Amino acid sequence: MAAGFLAAMTQHPTLSRRITSISAAGPDGWDLFRRARAMREAGLPVIELTIGEHDIRTAPAILQAMHAAALDGHTGYSPIPGSPALRAAVAARLQAKTGVATGPQNILITPGGQAALFAAHHAVCDEGDTALFIDPHYATYPGTIRAVGARPVTVTARAETGFQPRAADLAAAAPGARSLLINSPNNPTAVIYSRATLEGIAGVVQDHGLWLISDEVYDSQIWEGDHLSPRALPGMAARTLVVGSLSKSHAMTGSRVGWVCGPEAAIAHLTDLQTNTNYGIAGFVQQAAIFALAQGAAFEAQIGAPFARRRAITLDLLARQNVVRAAPMQGAMYAMLDVRATGMSGEGFAQALLDAEHIAVMPGESFGAAAAGHVRVAMTVGDDAYADALARLLAFAQARAEVPA
């Protein structure tokens, strides 16, 4: 008995299954990104077109507002769901954009959009529940779902249909699921879901009793057509949680200001979650966010203007060749390029491009099986450098194409 007791005392405790299963086994799709960074640190002139980070910094006026707020005493604990003024400002922005009545009671301020995604899934999924999301997808989606103890299941949006998810495919996956996560404008494809697509999604969600989580962080970057929030469709406000942030719209990625917008009861429970996790975000950051939102739609358009210009550069260069094709570039700061005519996978193309040209792009496979044979280009360097890098990428593809020029 004594030996057994001593053996038990020397056993090491194990970590939880939930925390150790957040990342799936095998490559995580970010190997190339890390290799490109290592090459730059070694002194090689790598052009990074990998992550969605603006090539401008947060506007000095916003930083000055943040600094002034800190000096003015906004450094203590702040209201956990967000300050009343910031919740009201976010609500007003969303109501103006969507036409849906929205008040502060519908808003939870979170430390960035990623925390909002985590909170939204916690709100609607129990341990072991099935949570649906669209493939191609933003890289953190499956890990976020696993982190709340749910089971991530993809529904494929196909390149041949412009990466618009089909209602029939969603309906086939919906039985037994609790939630569906969508993202429009979409990262990585740059596609905006059409009204018909969103109406199909709404029908499936209502028919199967699902919650819809709508990631709309790129709602200020619309280049073609219109952005429709599914929360604005009939019957959807009561079953939709919208995720947003100031990261993309105001070039405030490091400030970590995001939100969940949803029914008042859901927001009240999410406030309980935030009370027991991060306990709100810094008051001086919230004051800066209020200042940023007060600059209005014109400021958001100014932040998005470089990507509109680089979209035009992309379309012009693509029109001059016939090897690489792009998914519809309707929104966001990316181009999803189909490189299958080279006979290479997206992973193989991206690795070879990095070696030969010192240009780093993300393999489509980083974002799910549906993006295989593609690469995602982030339009996040200056116009001239971007045009040069894209021209070299296209020449690289032309030289390896299996079809004549």
Q: How far apart are CA 257 and CA 221, in angstroms?
A: 18
Joined together, the tokens standing for residue 164 give 């618009």
In this structure, the chain runs to a length of 405
Q: How far apart are CA 166 and CA 211, in angstroms?
A: 18
How crowded is residue 207: how many other Cβ atoms within 10 Å of its Cβ?
Answer: 12
* pLDDT greater than 90 at residue 277: yes
Lowest mean pLDDT among 10-19, 170-179, 206-215, 374-383: 10-19
Q: Is the pTM of this model over 0.75?
A: yes
Q: How far apart are CA 173 and CA 165, in angstroms?
A: 12
Half-sphere exposure of 349 (CA within 13 A, CB side): 32
Tell me whether the CATH fold assigned to 28-56+298-399 matches the one assigned to 60-294: no
* pLDDT greater than 80 at residue 322: yes
Distance in Å from the first CA to the final CA of the chain: 79
pLDDT, mean of residues 311-318: 98
* pLDDT greater than 80 at residue 29: no
* pLDDT greater than 80 at residue 3: no
| Band (11; pLDDT cuts 50, 70, 90) | confident
Strand order in the sheet with 130-135: 107-110, 258-261, 240-245, 211-215, 177-183, 130-135, 151-156
Q: For 49-101, what is each residue's pLDDT tens digit?
A: 999 999 999 999 999 999 999 999 999 999 999 999 999 999 999 999 999 99
The CATH H-level (homologous superfamily) assignment of domain 28-56+298-399 is Aspartate Aminotransferase, domain 1 (3.90.1150.10)
Q: For 104-154, what is each residue's pLDDT tens digit?
A: 999 999 999 999 999 999 999 999 999 999 999 999 999 999 999 999 999
Q: What is the pLDDT of residue 24?
A: 81
Instruction: Confirm if 238 and 261 have CB atoms less than 8 A apart.
Output: no
Q: For 340-396, what is each residue's pLDDT tens digit?
A: 999 999 999 999 999 999 999 999 999 999 999 999 999 999 999 999 999 999 999
Q: What SS3 state is found at 317? A: helix
Q: What SS3 state is found at 135? A: strand
| Band (267; pLDDT cuts 50, 70, 90) | very high
Q: Which fold is adopted by the domain 60-294? A: Aspartate Aminotransferase; domain 2 (3.40.640)
In the chain, where are the structural domains located?
Answer: 28-56+298-399, 60-294
Residue 354 CA from chain centroid, whole number: 24
Q: How far apart are CA 278 and CA 381, in angstroms?
A: 33
Pick the residue with more confidence: 24 or 347? 347
Q: What is the pLDDT of residue 30?
A: 79
